[in-house]
Structure 1
Amino acid sequence: MSDILREGHRPASEAPLQSDPVLNDPVLARVAGPGSPFEIGLRNGIRQFVSAPPDLNLMIESARRFGNRTCVVDFSSDGEERRLDYDQFFAWRDQLVPLLHVRRGDRVAIAMRNRAEWLVAFLAVMKAGGVAVLVNSRGSGPELLAMLEDVDPAVVLADTDRADAVRDAGYKGRVLDLTKPLPEDELTRRAAEPAADAGVADPEDPCAILFTSGTTGRVKGAILSHRNVITGLMSTQMSGMVVLTNMAAQMGTTVEALIGQMPQQASLLVYPLFHVSGLGAGFLSPFVSGGKVVIMRRWDADEAARLIAAEQISMFSAVPTMLWDILHRARTDGASLVSLRNIGSGGQALPVNLVEEVHALCPHAQIGTGYGMTECSGAIAQAVGPDFMRRPAAAGRVLPMVEVRIEGPEGQILAPGEAGEIVVRGAQVMKGYWNRPEETAAVLTGDGWLRTGDVGFVDEDGYVFIVDRKKDMVISGGENIYCAEVERVLGELPGLTECAAFGLPDERLGERLVAVVIAAGNDGIDEAGVIEWVAGRLARYKAPTRVAFATTTLPRNALGKVDKIALRKLWPQLSGEQ
């Protein structure tokens, strides 16, 4: 637990809870009760961690105490290993800060694949008082350019591929390629003139902007404050402490003794760092807790299996696709998973047969799942170990720091077990979308409730079940693909008169994106050409896996919109798939 949390930062306006039902669980009441590092209070009617630091950089700085403990294991593009301890990592961060030339509140974009430089860049932006803008490194040059032009950053911190891509797309702003050696003359000059102290942020100051899309297919930057991000991190830490407290009780020991017996936590980072899951659970959470972060640039199941064994990975959180891949290696190639103690997944529901397979191969590991979103700084619901096994079909249990209600079509609050739109409130909820006041107002109410766009229900025990999505979105291999965005690009292909993109169930990917098109008057269009058209204009993972051609107009509902339910039923006939 971070020293900075023990010191206490309770504002006078944050009152401790006396009898909130969230503390009915006796274990949670001990972990989050008065005087504890995770003490929960109320501020403006919203639950807060009363001892939380106001500035994420204070939380980051507390990790200096881990000194020569291994911090990051990374592999360069040519396969050379890089192993950095906490002292080395902070030295690298401190060297970069004065090169940014930014002041508090300036936006700084980070456009890189997963690598050590990305982590250093984020920490440097926090130290300098900037706002980290996390762009989708898998996007095409024009997609990257659109995000940069939207936020107008003071500087872009990039790797070589992304630096070239944004320049080729026409970006004229300042770009610093962190994968090249830092200029010696600049380092010397800046060392002689240290950067001014940025001071301490206000908890409501913007901390990061993460991009997400809506049903219109337009990317939007969700603004997360320091309070948002810190609450998300501490909520994860608190959940871990509840699990440890239960384990200690079962073993007849204390939490302190149990922690003292554990080796350093080692996490395999596979989620993209521009995702909220990669930033929070994948990087910041293990970093501030003294863990070792082992970075993968891109998913490779054989390399992941090797790293799990070689680095004694204890925590592995991935989308179901990746879990299937690892389990296959263990079954067929004898890959060792003995070091794994925590196996988690998110982004889509865990298939029951996958849960059974994980439990059979890793009976010693705690299995968990979660449900969250960028706009909520991470998880809204989570379940680990016995909590998860009680309701493996659920997306998790509502976390203590979040209020969840289910609303009907007219905004009425529904009873437990009734399905409607999931609406949430809490200190994790974003401040809004960057430069999108109308779209912000469409999802955020005046009293802080966020409309998730997901349809589901909450049972009597607080478990969340996702039924459907109001948003027309496909989650394939853990990646969000917005059908409207793909349809917009399909609509630009000469000769296509109608198109529709939608998802189909897939055992490995969770869902796969397919499309149905009508190509009247252009006999030269074929399936491969349509797929390449999309792949050349959007990130490749957004391209349909299959394209079927219809000869009659697409089915439509009473409002004149394409009826995708009917199209799914027609898919076997249109595609020839059975």
Structure 2
Amino acid sequence: MSKIDPIFAAVTAPGTPFEIEEKDGLRFFVNAPSDLNQLIESARRFRDQACVVDFDGPQGERRLSFADMFAWRDRLAGHLGIGRGDRVAICMRNRAEWIAAFMAVMKLGGVAVLLNSRGSAGDLLSMVDEVTPSLVLADAERAALLREAGYDGRLLDMSEPLEDRSTVEGDGLIARPDDPCAILFTSGTTGRVKGAVLSHRSLITGLLGTQLTGAMVLHNLAREYGMPVEALALKLPPQASLLVSPLFHISGLGSGFLAPLLSGGKIVIMRRWNAEEAVSLIERERVTQLSTVPTMLWDMVHRARTVEADLSSVRNIGSGGQALPLNLLEAVQALCPHAMIGVGYGMTETSGAIAQAVGADFLRAKASAGRVLPLVDVRIEGPSGNVCGVNETGEILVRSAMLMTGYWNRPDDTAKSFTADGWLRTGDIGYQDEDGYIYIVDRAKDMVISGGENIYCAEVERVLSEMPQVTECATFGIPDDRLGEALVAVVQAEGLDELSVIQWVAGRLAPYKAPTRVAFSRDPLPRNHAEKINKIALRALWPELAGKN
């Protein structure tokens, strides 16, 4: 996605919706609104189109049009009793009430605090105490947990019916771009949980950046087919997205909810991942796009094969978190022949993806995390602070209008995360090639030092994932008297033994990077709330897994 790309130049030309300008070293969308509510309001125009499909309402299945959702949003706003800038915690699993709650908070100029609904009573109370919200909007289960934990603040149980009340309009003021819009808690598996503060500008820039990527894909397809963009758009089936990620994650909030809402698409809500339900919903609702992780894709493939499901409606599949094994890629393409597969790289602190590759762009570099997006600057920094060259490995730093403003009430953590000149330290180790593709090698804190050599787990895992028999894998270090740390691997696969796995890695990387031991798991590897492989849990399981070999 270079600036000299003729399609990029046309789509972002002066006067277009995606016109870009630069100010103080950052690039912005010239015509973007300053307030997220203005962007949400633009979706009213879809009126009677299907907006949300939720199968877990008080009376069962619910189908809500855009008009229904906005009417619900306006009705709910009359019950919140908040003012501009007030923090409102949303503590619910994925459901239509969550979407209505977020829209209502935005309407009144509040700051939406997104709590991890999968947390324990103590976890929920800790997050609430961290941000001291004026109001908590919860479902019945989470409301009970908070009260059980001792929360005595104002709470509205969204599971109970709302009485009719005249709509309360906002104060008429429009938020400034740098005003806080939402607080999302980071999902790290170690250290303190922190609330990343996202401004209206950062969220809007991320959303419009996603739309820009979609527009460029459409223009490229139109050029490939030799037809006008407008004619191609008319031939595309109605957009329907399967909401898989939790709404309290940036992926769920952005690509799962707000992006489809703004484009007039139908949002099909899943409470949590279930392969049988996912395959059924895709087939019944004619789902055209979903974002997920490789493990979920494997589940979907196996289930679809078992029941001979028709998944041909799927046009776009986004994946992140780890490289797609080649055999998984082939299996998905066989089930979803019309689908363009893509990858993305981002984090809560960047309001979503900062690198993406879709379709042919992805197939050119399947091991990458995507190409850096147009409104993002990336630099790779070595251990001494030097800027690395092309294909040189170091920590990935990011600068963009998409970045968070900081961590809520944690100035020291914020200061450690940014350089003096405004670059965010991602904590990820990687490199960028000459075409702008980013390759993630490892997390800075997840590197194994074995015999004085640095081994990047993600690099080894990428090579392991290229074995046709491997479904998923993870590597990590365990204490070793001679080496300090020894790299070991846990693999879910069929038809492999320990020696064949070790030799596969040793034959493709330096021999010292090969795992010293390999354990096999018949079950999917454990995952955390972000659906990332939980290496803390795997380390605890290692003696048991290794003993079975």
Q: Aligned equivalents of 1:210 and 1:354: distance in 2?
A: 32
Q: Aligned equivalents of 2:243 and 2:72: distance in 1?
A: 20
Matched, 1:117 2:85: no
Matched, 1:400 2:380: no
Matched, 1:456 2:456: no
Counterpart amino acid of residue 29 in structure 1? A
Residue 55 of structure 1 corresponds to 35
Are residues 207 and 110 of structure 1, via their aligned partners in 2, closer, same or farther at CA, if it must alter by over 3 Å? same
Q: Aligned equivalents of 2:442 and 2:532: distance in 1?
A: 26
Residue 436 of structure 1 corresponds to 410
Return 5+ residue gaps in structure 1 as ranges.
1-20, 484-499, 509-533, 550-570
Deviations along 1:430-470, whole A, 9 cap, x unmatched? 10000110110001123221000000000000111011111
Residue 351 of structure 1 corresponds to 325
Shift in Å, 1:348: 2.5
Shift in Å, 1:540: 13
Q: Aligned match of 1:417 in 385, 388, 391?
A: 391
Deviations along 1:455-497, whole A, 9 cap, x unmatched? 0000000111011111349999xxxx9x9xxxxxxxxxxxxxx
Matched, 1:375 2:349: yes
Contact map agreement 1:104 1:198 (CA 8 A) in 2: no
Deviations along 1:529-568, whole A, 9 cap, x unmatched? xxxxx99xx999969656769xxxxxxxxxxxxxxxxxxx
Contact map agreement 1:110 1:133 (CA 8 A) in 2: yes
Contact map agreement 1:547 1:575 (CA 8 A) in 2: no
Are residues 242 and 541 of structure 1, via their aligned partners in 2, closer, same or farther at CA, if it must alter by over 3 Å? closer
Are residues 85 and 286 of structure 1, via their aligned partners in 2, closer, same or farther at CA, if it must alter by over 3 Å? same
Contact map agreement 1:139 1:539 (CA 8 A) in 2: no
Counterpart amino acid of residue 169 in structure 1? A
Are residues 296 and 216 of structure 1, via their aligned partners in 2, closer, same or farther at CA, if it must alter by over 3 Å? closer
Q: Aligned equivalents of 1:74 and 1:148: distance in 2?
A: 27
Once the two structures are aligned, what percentage of the paired residues are identical? 59
Q: What SS does the corresponding residue of 2:78 show, helix, strand or coil? A: helix
Aligned residue pairs total 482
Within 5 Å, give how 1:130-529 maps onto structure 2.
130-182=110-162, 184=163, 187-188=164-165, 191=166, 194-213=168-187, 217-472=191-446, 504-507=489-492
Q: Aligned equivalents of 1:198 and 1:469: distance in 2?
A: 45
Counterpart amino acid of residue 139 in structure 1? G
Are residues 503 and 344 of structure 1, via their aligned partners in 2, closer, same or farther at CA, if it must alter by over 3 Å? farther
Q: Aligned equivalents of 2:531 and 2:347: distance in 1?
A: 21
Q: Aligned equivalents of 1:149 and 1:340: distance in 2?
A: 42
Are residues 137 and 539 of structure 1, via their aligned partners in 2, closer, same or farther at CA, if it must alter by over 3 Å? farther
Contact map agreement 2:179 2:200 (CA 8 A) in 1: yes
Shift in Å, 1:344: 1.2
Counterpart amino acid of residue 104 in structure 1? R
Deviations along 1:496-525, whole A, 9 cap, x unmatched? xxxx9x9955449xxxxxxxxxxxxxxxxx
Shift in Å, 1:318: 0.9
* Runs of 4+ off more than 4 Å: 213-216, 472-476, 502-508, 538-549, 571-574
Are residues 215 and 311 of structure 1, via their aligned partners in 2, closer, same or farther at CA, if it must alter by over 3 Å? closer
Counterpart amino acid of residue 374 in structure 1? T
Q: What SS does the corresponding residue of 1:406 show, helix, strand or coil? A: strand
Shift in Å, 1:40: 1.0
Residue 45 of structure 2 corresponds to 65
Q: Aligned match of 2:14 in 26, 31, 34?
A: 34
Q: Aligned equivalents of 1:506 and 1:94: distance in 2?
A: 50
Contact map agreement 2:178 2:199 (CA 8 A) in 1: yes
Q: Aligned equivalents of 1:266 and 1:441: distance in 2?
A: 41
Contact map agreement 2:323 2:366 (CA 8 A) in 1: no
Counterpart amino acid of residue 384 in structure 2? E
Counterpart amino acid of residue 294 in structure 1? V
Aligned CA-pair RMSD: 2.7
Contact map agreement 1:125 1:132 (CA 8 A) in 2: yes
Shift in Å, 1:194: 3.2
Residue 3 of structure 1 corresponds to none
Shift in Å, 1:263: 2.5
Counterpart amino acid of residue 251 in structure 1? Y
Return 5+ residue gaps in structure 2 as ranges.
448-456, 462-473, 477-484, 494-525
Q: What SS does the corresponding residue of 1:23 show, helix, strand or coil? A: coil
Shift in Å, 1:354: 1.4
Residue 522 of structure 1 corresponds to none
Q: What SS does the corresponding residue of 1:369 show, helix, strand or coil? A: strand
Deviations along 1:215-246, whole A, 9 cap, x unmatched? 75211000000000000000000000000000
Are residues 469 and 38 of structure 1, via their aligned partners in 2, closer, same or farther at CA, if it must alter by over 3 Å? same
Counterpart amino acid of residue 95 in structure 2? R
Q: Aligned equivalents of 2:7 and 2:533: distance in 1?
A: 43
Q: Aligned equivalents of 1:243 and 1:196: distance in 2?
A: 37
Q: Aligned equivalents of 2:546 and 2:365: distance in 1?
A: 36
